[in-house]
Amino acid sequence: MASAEILGDKWTLLLLREMFLGTTRFSGFQNAIPRMSPSILSKRLKTLEAAEIIIRKAAPTGQVTEYKLTRSGRELGPIVENMAVWGMRWRKRVIAAQDCDVGGFMWDFHRTLNTEGLPDGETVILVQISDRNDLNTWWVIANGDAVDLCPTDPGHEVDVYLTATLADLIALWLGDLSVADATEAKTVFLDGPRHLINTAQDWMAQSPFVGVRPASAMLH
């Protein structure tokens, strides 16, 4: 099938997922899918453009190119969403640290932080992944609705320290583990002002599909 030839690889589906999440620029795709090489990214964008699923246009500043979904591309939205729901329900939810794209996960983590649960002004959260030898320290900087992710020290004063294994951090994000249960079991550690610790469940980043229960839970 022609549609399978266009959409039938993981990079294309990840790329479309990013577009539905609002990413429009080459650098944004690189940040969100760090394991995807620039050459593969360029090739997939050209394939989607040739299939008239996306169009390429100049950004308002005129300095960079943006990629936008066409009407044809937008019709893929329910397919991409249903695949995400299927994956959450039926695939393994516990991911080994060595199998996870940490950069991609942290990109998802930072953009799903609930800023409404944070106080006004800037809040800096230092995420420390305790079972990684590399890519194990990330600064999440929230200010209003804007949230930035830094893999190196930006020089801002840290408000909250969040320390966990990668598996527990993912479980928090998926909603399989609550902040209260994790901190009580001492699998996740939070350090900072009491008002930020007590409201951690309110501001903690969570997957858009956090309400999707695994099939194993539905069978009991």
pLDDT of residue 94: 65
Q: Report the alpha-carbon distance of residue 136 to residue 130 in Å, rounded.
A: 7
pTM of the predicted structure, to 2 decimals: 0.85
- Within this chain, domains 2-90 and 97-203 share the same CATH topology: no
Q: Report the alpha-carbon distance of residue 181 to residue 203 in Å, rounded.
A: 16
Q: Report the alpha-carbon distance of residue 44 to residue 18 in Å, rounded.
A: 13
Q: Write down the domain spans for the chain.
A: 2-90, 97-203
- Of the CA atoms within 13 Å of residue 71, those in its CB half-sphere come to 0
pLDDT of residue 210: 87
Q: What is the pLDDT along the chain (220 residues), one digit of tens a residue?
A: 568 788 888 899 999 999 999 999 999 999 999 999 999 999 999 999 999 999 999 877 777 899 999 999 999 999 999 998 998 888 766 665 556 789 999 999 999 999 999 999 999 999 999 988 888 999 999 999 999 999 999 999 999 999 999 999 999 999 889 999 999 999 999 999 999 999 999 999 999 998 888 877 665 5
Given this structure, which CATH class describes domain 2-90? mainly alpha
Structurally, at CATH architecture level, domain 97-203 sits in 2-Layer Sandwich (3.30)
H-helix segments, the chain? 2-7, 10-20, 26-32, 38-50, 71-74, 77-90, 102-111, 166-174, 179-184, 194-198, 200-203, 215-218
pLDDT of residue 59: 77
pLDDT of residue 1: 52
Residues sharing a CB contact under 8 Å with residue 193, sequence separation 6 or more, in sequence order: 159, 160
